[in-house]
Amino acid sequence: MEELALQEIDELEANVAQFRSGELSLEEFRPRRTLYGVYGQRQRERYMVRVRVPQGRLTPEQLLTLADIAESFSRGFAHVTTRQDIEYHFVLLEHMPALLRQLAAVDLTTREAGGNIVRNVTCDPLSGVCGDAVFDVTPHADALAGHFLRNPVSQELPRKIKIALSGCPCDHALTWVHDIGAQAAVSGDRRGFRLLVGGGLGALPRGADVLEEFVPEEELVPLCEAIVRAFQRTGDRKRRQRARLKFVLARLGLETFRKLVHEERRQVPAAPDLLDTRAELEEPAPLRTGEPAPAERTPEYHRWRQVCVLPQKQAGFAVAAVALPAGKITAGQLRALADIAREFALRPRTTIYQNIVLRWAREEHLPALHAALARHNLAQPTAETLLDPVACPGAETCASAITNGKALARALISQLEESEYLEDEAARRIQVKISACPNACGQHPVADIGLYGGALHADGRLLPMYHLLVNSNGFGQLLARLPARRAPQAVRALVEDYRSRRLPEERFRPFARRVGLGELRAVIAPLLPPPAFVEDPEAYLDWEATKLFSLEERGEGECAV
């Protein structure tokens, strides 16, 4: 496979030369590079590169290579995405072949990280170790990823397909908003999956339908191929905005689509069995460098352990979550994680919440692990909390974006960094997700509090704004539109209202359902009217911007063409 990957990189390198010489037009070249996860930015001659990380699993050697790439070809850091991938920005086109060869040397690729194909198969990062785990679905996710990578059946789909697998009822992988979602299940003494189809986010989010209540594990790969084949036949190739699988389900209905899938299943040819059902792929690794030096159990350690550490179902082990602000991790931090993973015999995985979890931490090593992480600013006690918002790249790089989502995330973290939120277990578990446009790359529809970017005309000018959504059950509902600069205040006001009026043991979503949108809107009403320019000129700048807001640099992002 490595030889094939290197041949593909040689072909891409030749394509780059042909594009530079004019032999290939932009229209001809674009699909060839997007297939390799190389997307144009709003900045001319700068590109985003997306690295596939199957199931989010990374080795120390891969972490070191990712660090080298961040320093050599990007800006000294990378971002973890909501699909467990790694992204770099501001990469030069001429650097792509060397970058891809470095990845290939550690068994990583960007192949099919973009384009109308089956994207990276995501996996519950706690699969097999969560206390409620049914079984470890990592081998099944790995089998699906291996089956569809370079598979002719999925190379020219009407639109992309996203697949997610979850190993416990908590659904850490959000399978219900994927084109194909598989939830671990057991029937008698047989392992298998509850199979979902037709979920998705975007401007028109849709919850998935249950295609099959139980699919034996050996049927998962062929049945998923049958779904892809049915989508190949029925997807809308004329209207790109209506081309995803969720629109096929809405148009045909579940029963008709199920019949098509069963027809296609009979046509699926026999394929090599990529699923190792004899054993789980992961188990604790032996310590190779001796026992870590003991460390003090400080107040900071206790707070970190309370928020970021989860006991595994395997006695004596735990999962430690590393919070990455808006998914950002520096080259130095990547190297530090590689060293820490080796020293403590850990198995890192990226998550769809743009963080990294460290599996198989020995409980007696947790104080030393905290100290090691803290030395590199990787021990913030905020993972998957109110102070850990998810955010898409936004207008800093994305041509489709309206606002700078990651800048808002940083502003939100800065304004909410107060100890009482971390001490209040229910309040800190409120999840905030930010998208810079309606496309929902930041997964805002499924957040407790979601925000997506827009623009307002006010006082004869354009003003950056956000649509603020509150989720009481399933997908968020629009609460209000407000200036971007006031979004952190609005989030704070909603959290404070929740803390002051909630019932005992009441979480945020039941609270929002009980009090209703009208009362919540009244809480933030003073923040909604846009100010006059002379009163507050900063309101007409996006977060971290130095010039007045406009849409002049916005275009059609390559994910939409």
Are both 47 and 175 inside the same structural domain?
A: no
Q: Which of 374, 409, 429 is the last residue of a domain?
A: 374
What's the CATH code of the domain at 370?
3.90.480.10
What's the CATH code of the domain at 8?
3.90.480.20
With contact defined as beta carbons under 8 Å apart, do 369 and 340 qualify?
A: yes
Task: For residue 225, count CB atoms less than 10 angstroms from its CB and return exposed for 0-12, middle for 13-18, buried for 19 or more.
Answer: buried
pLDDT at 355 exceeding the cut of 90? yes
Are both 437 and 493 inside the same structural domain?
A: yes
Are both 31 and 89 inside the same structural domain?
A: yes
Q: Which of 343, 374, 405 is the last residue of a domain?
A: 374
pLDDT (mean) for 463-489: 97
Phi, psi of 373, rounded to the nearest 5 degrees: -65, -40
pLDDT at 292 exceeding the cut of 90? no
Are both 28 and 101 inside the same structural domain?
A: yes
- Residue 548: inside a domain, yes or no? no
User: Tens of pLDDT along 32-91?
Assistant: 999 999 999 999 999 999 999 999 999 999 999 999 999 999 999 999 999 999 999 999
- Residue 273: inside a domain, yes or no? no
Q: Considering only 46-60, 190-204, 281-295, 497-511, which range has the smallest mean pLDDT?
A: 281-295
With contact defined as beta carbons under 8 Å apart, do 447 and 390 qualify?
A: yes
Mean pLDDT, rounded, of the chain? 94
Edge-first strand listing for the sheet containing 309-311: 309-311, 317-322, 356-362, 347-350
Residues listed for the chain: 561
Q: Considering only 19-28, 238-247, 278-287, 348-357, which range has the smallest mean pLDDT?
A: 278-287
Kindly indicate the confidence band of residue 417, based on its pLDDT and cuts at 50, 70 and 90: confident
Kindly indicate the confidence band of residue 294, based on its pLDDT and cuts at 50, 70 and 90: confident
Task: For residue 246, count CB atoms less than 10 angstroms from its CB and return exposed for 0-12, middle for 13-18, buried for 19 or more.
Answer: buried
With contact defined as beta carbons under 8 Å apart, do 80 and 116 qualify?
A: no
Task: Give the residue numbers spanning the domain of 502.
Answer: 390-540
pLDDT at 271 exceeding the cut of 70? no
pLDDT at 196 exceeding the cut of 80? yes
pLDDT at 213 exceeding the cut of 70? yes
User: Tens of pLDDT along 320-338?
Assistant: 999 999 999 999 999 999 9
Kindly indicate the confidence band of residue 290, based on its pLDDT and cuts at 50, 70 and 90: confident
Kindly indicate the confidence band of residue 553, based on its pLDDT and cuts at 50, 70 and 90: confident
- Residue 532: inside a domain, yes or no? yes
Are both 200 and 237 inside the same structural domain?
A: yes
Number of domains in the chain: 4
Are both 259 and 126 inside the same structural domain?
A: yes
- Residue 468: inside a domain, yes or no? yes
Are both 199 and 239 inside the same structural domain?
A: yes
pLDDT (mean) for 462-484: 97
- Residue 292: inside a domain, yes or no? no
What's the CATH code of the domain at 411?
3.30.413.10
- Strands (E) across 170-316 are located at 180-187, 190-197, 209-216, 309-311
- Residue 63: inside a domain, yes or no? yes
Q: Which of 105, 137, 152 is the last residue of a domain?
A: 105
DSSP secondary structure letters along 503-538 = PTT--HHHHHHHHHHHHHHHHHGGG-SPPPTTT-GG
CA distance readout (Å), 560 to 74, 297, 377, 555: 24, 50, 36, 10
Kindly indicate the confidence band of residue 279, based on its pLDDT and cuts at 50, 70 and 90: very low
Are both 491 and 455 inside the same structural domain?
A: yes
- Residue 112: inside a domain, yes or no? no
- Residue 12: inside a domain, yes or no? yes
Helices then strands (H, E): number in the chain?
A: 16, 19
